[in-house]
Structures are given as C-alpha cells and as structure tokens.
Amino acid sequence: MTETLPIAPWRVFTVEVRAVHRLSPSFVRVTFTGPDLDRFADNGWDQRIKLALPLPGQRGVRLPDGPDWYAQWRALSEEQRNPVRTYTVRAVRPHLAEVDIDLVLHGDGGPATRWARRARPGDEIALVGPDAGYPGDHGGIEFRLPSTGRLLLAGDETAAPAIAAILERLPLDASGRALIEVPEAADTLPLVTPPGVELTWLPRGSGGYGSLLVPAVAAATGDLITASAEPATGPDDDVDVDTEILWEVPAEAPSSPLYAWLAGEAGVIRTLRRHLVGERGLDRRAVAFMGYWRLGRADVA
C-alpha cells in the first residue's frame, strides 16, 4: 500500500509570469500562473508569500520542496541559493490558476527590483504559498478583524498591497482610517473601501520615510480615540531595530475601541509604536506592529 503523505500548510508552486502591469511609477503588478495554482489558498487579508528569483544567467528557479524547504535552501551555498523575498498576495483567482503580486520598485539595487523591472510573460520563478488542500490555519496572516471598535491601517509603499487587500475584505459597516505613504502623487491608486473607512494617500516627495506618515498617524489616533472609549494602557518595551525584528501582533481578534495595524520601514514603525503604546497608552494587545524592511539594509527572506 502506498503511504499518503500529510498535506503541509505551505508548498512550493512553480509558476511563470502571465502578465506585467505597471500601476504607477513605484508599483508593478505581476500576474503569475502555473499548473497547480488552482490549489493556492485564497485567504485574503495580508497573506504573506515568498518569491524565489532566478540567479544571474539562470532561467527558472530550482527551489527545494517539502516542509523543510527553507532549511534546505539555507543550507545551499551562496552561489546556489536563489534570492527569496517576502510579499503580500494582492489577488487570487483559483479558477484561472492566477495569483497577483504587487511589487514596489526601489531604484535598481536589489534582486527583486531588478527582476521586477525586467519581468516579461513566460519568465519562470518559484512561489511559496498556502496550499488550499491543508485543512488548518496556514499562517502568514497578521491582520485580525476586530469584533468591535474602529480601525487604523497605516504604512509606507511596502505595506500598500496589504492595506489594499485588507480594505477590500472589510465588512461594509467597518469604520476608521487608512493612511498610506508613497514616494510621489502618481503612486495614488484606486482602492475599494467601506463607506466608513477614510483613505488618505501621503506622497512624501523629497521627504524622508515617515515624514508624512508619523504626524498623520498621530493626528488620526487622536481623532479615533476621541470618537471611541479610552483604550486600556499597556507596558511598552522598546525594540532595537538594528539587532532585532520589530514584529508584534495580537494572537486573537481584539475587542477594543481601536485596533491598529502598522507596517513599513522598521525605524518608522518603531517611532509609531512608541507614540501609540508609550505615549497614547493604547493596549498593545490591540495593535499590530510590523517592520517590513530596514532602511540601509538588504531585504532578507
């Protein structure tokens, strides 16, 4: 008798580019297809996945498969190890075997940006994502839909795809604010939002990361707290983003007057964390803080 192996939450999908659509100066949408993408789980919210990119001169990607793919990948020599980067799913169409990923173009220095600028239909890569055949929680989702209270969603351009996906899934009676800082005004994208959620784009131009987002979050928090009951306070312990990963999320959906989801450059998110938890006294159990990347440091898997 042949033994049936258990289905793992995540699997490696071999995919190719079906279409490339430049959304704005800083955003490009890549549509992937593959023979088994009908098995890609459409979990919505801020579902994270990983893209494995080709090595120089390589067509396609040879990524280890199985539950221990990451350990096998880490064990490869640098010359054999395909660059792996983390992204948020923008849309899933299982009936068409398609997945959309929105990528941010940062100059031309990193492997992901170089690949995205040159991506063409037919290019082959690997995508590590949730397997729809798995019956449990896949993981990789940090947003928790609160049962009560208002929402604050905020981040820079790297968080824009996640915020967009969250906004599209919110119930129609949701209320709150969404703030997205982007490099320039032309990066403002049309997004679907519930009537009670106000979306504000913040083109920073020549300003530094967080130059508009930090004061906008402070102002929005004041408005939302005023419109809500006073949240419970919680202790704050600072994070050294140069040595630690800033990643603190509620384990369960909070029941709180305000739920905040914040993601982007780690130094900026640390500043927002200090303000919301340390100064405003927001209950940290109702706030998700995620340092997606660190200024001056290469992105890692």
Residue 1: pLDDT band with limits 50, 70, 90: very low
Q: Where exactly are the structural domains of the chain?
A: 10-130, 150-293
**138 vs 132: CA distance, rounded Å:** 9
Query: 239 pLDDT band (50/70/90 cuts)?
Result: low
Q: Would residue 195 be called left, alpha or beta, if left means φ above 0 and alpha means ψ between -120 and 50 degrees?
A: alpha
Residue 297 has pLDDT above 80, yes or no: no
Nearest to 189 by CA among 143, 157, 141: 157
In sequence order, which residues have a C-beta less than 8 Å from that of residue 227 and are 6 or more positions away? 150
Q: Please, which pLDDT band fits residue 60 given cuts at 50, 70 and 90?
A: confident
Residues, the chain: 301
Amino acid at 253: A
Q: Which amino acid is at 136?
A: G
For 168-216, the pLDDT digits (tens) are: 999 999 999 999 999 999 999 999 999 999 999 999 999 999 999 999 9
Whether residue 112 has pLDDT greater than 60:
yes
* pLDDT tens readout for residues 211-232: 999 999 999 998 887 654 444 4
Please state, as a whole number, how many other Cβ atoms lie within 10 Å of the Cβ of residue 222: 11
- What would the two tokens of residue 187 be? 């990066």
Domain at 10-130, CATH from 3.40.50.2300, 2.60.40.420, 3.40.710.10, 2.40.30.10: 2.40.30.10
If pLDDT is split at 50, 70 and 90, which confidence band does 101 have? very high
Strand partners, 78: none
**Cβ-Cβ contacts under 8 Å for 285 (sequence gap 6 or more):** 234, 250, 254, 256
Q: Left, alpha or beta for 57 (phi > 0: left; psi -120 to 50: alpha)?
A: left
Sign of CA dihedral 220, 226, 229, 233: positive
CA geometry: angle at 73 spanning 69 and 74, to 5°? 120
Cβ 149 vs Cβ 228: under 8 Å: yes
CATH classification number, 150-293, choose in 3.40.50.450, 3.30.300.30, 3.40.50.80, 2.30.110.10: 3.40.50.80
pLDDT score, position 233? 47
Close Cβ partners of 160 (under 8 Å, ≥ 6 residues apart) = 27, 102, 104, 180, 182, 189
CA proximity to 20, closest of 95, 93, 123, 110: 123
The band of 256, judged by pLDDT with boundaries at 50, 70 and 90, is confident
Report DSSP letters for the chain, one per residue: -PPPPPPPSEEEEEEEEEEEEE-SSSEEEEEEE-TTGGGB----TT-EEEEEPPPTT-SS-----STTHHHHHHHS-TTT---EEEEEEEEEEGGGTEEEEEEE--TTTSHHHHHHHH--TT-EEEEEEEBTT--S----------SEEEEEEEE-GGGHHHHHHHHHHS-TT-EEEEEEEESSGGG-------TEEEEEEEE-TTSPTTTTHHHHHHHHHHHHHHTSPPPPP-------TTTS--EE--SS--EEEEEEEEEEEHHHHHHHHIIIIIIS---GGGEEEEEEE-TTS----
